[in-house]
Amino acid sequence: MAKSNVNVDELNKDIEALKNAKTEDEVNAIMAKYNDAIDEMEKEKSKPEKKTTKAKTTAAKTTAKKAPAKKKAEEAPKGRSYNGKYEVYEIGDGYQYHLKASNGEILFVSEVYTTREGVSKAIDALKKNIETGELRISKDKKGLFKFKLVAKNHRVLAISSTYPQEKGAQRASESFKKFAVKADIVDIEFEDADVKTATPIEIDTKERKNGGKFEIEKFDGEYSWDLKASNGQILCQADGYTSKSGVLNSIESFKKNIKEGTFKCVKDKNNNYCYKLYTQSGRVCAVGESYTTKSSAESAANSVVAFYRDAETVEI
């Protein structure tokens, strides 16, 4: 039987942290500690059991003769297959999907598509390029690691979540290749856990400021954007776009949702605050930076409204 060296007290603390995790990055950071241990345990389980004594060997043979059906049942799991899932859901004013491994780990999250049909086409393209494309491990500008699926024409088709260590991204890329082709596609309802406790932010819609910028950056084949105030403060950001058109559409969608949506303030488990922008239908379409005070998060939301109208879109 495979043994684990994980401290029980530490494991219990991490289980509680997983229950309270608000973001995918928080979950990945915790799971990264256990991925290697889990792999080793699975390898140990797959090894044939050693026959330590003659008495045990005889007993095993006797059991096999008396209960052949049981032995057959025990051998059955060797051929068992595990399937992942493409979970499709509405987000903002579009559709998004993520690929889950059989153990529930989210391997990557797609960019947002304007239609459900767009999601289906994107998944089909992804499956076709699994074998012919290239999986690359890269380090982003924040020092975190991701894997990317790059087609032969150099188009980036998938960008994973971030991992604190390169080996975590490598392991996830192997799982991605294992599950992506045969994964089922299911539609789900994606609910925001904070929607019931988030408090509305009073927005001054009359204030209008100049000097803001939507800065688009391309780093290692991946597009991102930051909305910055005139003093350089980052008010909102988004990344993980595979094309320039995708990042531009995201900015336009963000502007639309500012006009029609609602800003709310959310307090996390670490007693920090951020704003969330909700669409008219109640879905989260943007999340602000984390602040130590509620007033700072509310001020950031008001700055978004004050700067976005006249913000210039630039590439850096």
Domain ranges of the chain: 85-187, 199-315
H helix or E strand, kind and range, residue 19: helix 8-20
pTM of the model as a whole: 0.58
The band of 52, judged by pLDDT with boundaries at 50, 70 and 90, is very low
Evaluate whether 59 touches 160 at the Cβ level (below 8 Å).
no
Evaluate whether 125 touches 110 at the Cβ level (below 8 Å).
no
Provide the edge-to-edge strand list for the sheet that holds 94-100. 106-109, 94-100, 85-91, 184-187
The band of 62, judged by pLDDT with boundaries at 50, 70 and 90, is very low
Amino acid at 287: V
Evaluate whether 89 touches 188 at the Cβ level (below 8 Å).
yes
Q: What is the pLDDT of residue 85?
A: 94
Q: Which of 169, 162, 187 is nearest to 27 (CA)?
A: 162
- Higher-pLDDT residue of 191, 302: 302
Evaluate whether 217 touches 225 at the Cβ level (below 8 Å).
yes
Q: Which of 217, 99, 101 is nearest to 158 (CA)?
A: 99
- The mean pLDDT value for 172-200 works out to 89
Which residue is it, tokens 């996830």?
172
Task: With a cut of 60, say whether residue 42 has pLDDT above it.
Answer: no
Kind of pairing between the strands at 284-287 and 273-278: antiparallel
- The mean pLDDT value for 225-236 works out to 94
Q: Which CATH class is domain 199-315?
A: mainly beta
Q: How far apart are CA 232 and CA 275, in angstroms?
A: 19
* 3-state class (DSSP) for residue 314: strand
- The mean pLDDT value for 191-197 works out to 78
Q: What is the pLDDT of residue 19?
A: 65
236, burial (CB in 10 Å: exposed 0-12, middle 13-18, buried 19+): buried
Evaluate whether 161 touches 145 at the Cβ level (below 8 Å).
no
Q: How far apart are CA 109 and CA 122, in angstroms?
A: 12
Q: How far apart are CA 20 and CA 65, in angstroms?
A: 50
The band of 82, judged by pLDDT with boundaries at 50, 70 and 90, is low
- CATH fold label, 85-187: PH-domain like (2.30.29)
Task: With a cut of 60, say whether residue 44 has pLDDT above it.
Answer: no
Radius of gyration from C-alpha coordinates of the chain: 24
**What percentage of the chain reaches a pLDDT higher than 70?**
75
Q: 125: Cβ–Cβ under 8 A, 6 or more apart, which residues? A: 157
Q: What is the pLDDT of residue 239?
A: 86
Q: How far apart are CA 102 and CA 82, in angstroms?
A: 6
The band of 219, judged by pLDDT with boundaries at 50, 70 and 90, is confident
- Higher-pLDDT residue of 79, 211: 211
- The mean pLDDT value for 77-104 works out to 81
Q: 64: Cβ–Cβ under 8 A, 6 or more apart, which residues? A: 71
- The mean pLDDT value for 150-175 works out to 90
- Higher-pLDDT residue of 241, 301: 301
The band of 124, judged by pLDDT with boundaries at 50, 70 and 90, is very high
The band of 7, judged by pLDDT with boundaries at 50, 70 and 90, is low
